[in-house]
Amino acid sequence: MKKIALLLTLVLLVGMLSACGSANNTSSDSGTTPKAEQPTNTPTEAAPTNTPTPSPTPTPDPNTYFKSDFDSAPFGKLMDDKGEDIVEAVKGNAGLVYLMFDQVGAGLASISKDQGKDGSACLVATGRTANWNGIAITVDPKWFGKGFKISFDAKCVSGKEDVTDMLVSLTTKFEVYKDKEKGTHSMQYPAYNRITGTSSNGEWVHCEGTVFLPTDIYIDPETQTSNTQIYFECADGTGKEDIFIDNLEIILTDGVGDYEAFNAYWEEHKPAEEEGEGE
C-alpha cells in the first residue's frame, strides 16, 4: 500500500510541474511583443556637383570703332595705312602706350596702371601746358562722313587746391575748303560738335554723346592724309592739369552729310542756351 501511495504522489507531482511549465510558457508568449526587424540603411548617392557654366563672352558691336577699359585687349576698327591693326597696346618707357593715341600740344599720352576709375589702368595725359593740350585720335579719311557715338569716364587733377570744377571735353577738329578752286582750306573746331562734362578736382565724371565728321573734309592731295582728330582736353583750370580717361567706347553711326549739312544739323540741334546766358 505504501508503494502505491508513493507512486500516486510522484504522478501528481509530475502533473503539477508539467502544468506550471505550460502556464509559464503561455504567459511568456502573450506578454512579450516581438521586436521589429531594423531596416538596413542603404547609403544614398552623393548629390551631383553642379559645374558652373561659364558666361559667354559678349560679342562686340560690329560698328565698334574702339572699345577698351585699358586693362585688357581692346577691340576696334582702327587700322594703319597698311591695313594693319594698331589698336593693340605696346610697352613703352611710360608703361603701356596705345599706338592710336597722339598727344595734342605739350605733354605725354600714356597708360597709368593703377589710377583708373576702379583702381586699375587708364589713359592719362601729363605734362600739359595749355587748356587745348590733350590726347587725340587721328581719324583715317575712310571714316569721314560718319557719326561717332562716344562714352567715357574722365577726371582732371590739378595740383592747386583753388582749382575746383574743370570742363573736360571731347572735341573734334578738321579742315574744310574755303575755296575749292583755289585749294584754300581752314581748320574748324565746331563749338557744338563736342561732348563735355564737369570734373570736380580729382573726381570722375561719366560723359557720353555723339559727334560727327562731314563728308567733304580737306585731304592733302599729295600725301592723302588729313589733320582730322577727335581729342580730349581740359579747360577752366590752369592748363597744366592731368587728364585721365577710362572705359572709352566709340561706336560708328550714321553721319549728317557734307559741311553745309553738318552746320545745318547743329543749327537745329545745338543745346538750348541756359537762362541768363549772354546777358
Alpha-carbon distance values, 71 to 84, 173, 205, 254 (Å): 22, 28, 19, 30
CATH classification code of 64-269: 2.60.120.260
Residues 136, 231: contact at Cβ < 8 Å?
A: yes
CA distance 275 to 56: 49
If you write DSSP's letter for every residue of 121-161 in order, what string do you get?
Answer: -EEEEES--STT-EEEEEPPGGGTT-EEEEEEEEEEE-S-T
Q: What is the pTM of this model?
A: 0.68
Per-domain boundaries in the chain = 64-269
* Per-residue model confidence (pLDDT) at position 99: 46
The Cβ-side half-sphere exposure at 147, using a 13 Å CA radius, reads: 12
Per-residue pLDDT of the chain (279 residues; tens, 9 = 90+): 555 555 556 555 555 655 555 545 554 455 555 555 665 666 566 666 777 776 665 565 678 888 888 776 555 544 334 444 444 444 433 333 444 566 666 666 777 778 889 878 888 888 888 888 888 888 888 889 999 999 999 998 887 776 678 888 899 999 998 877 777 889 999 999 999 999 888 889 999 999 999 999 999 888 888 889 898 988 877 778 888 999 998 899 999 999 999 999 999 998 776 444 443
* Per-residue model confidence (pLDDT) at position 67: 80
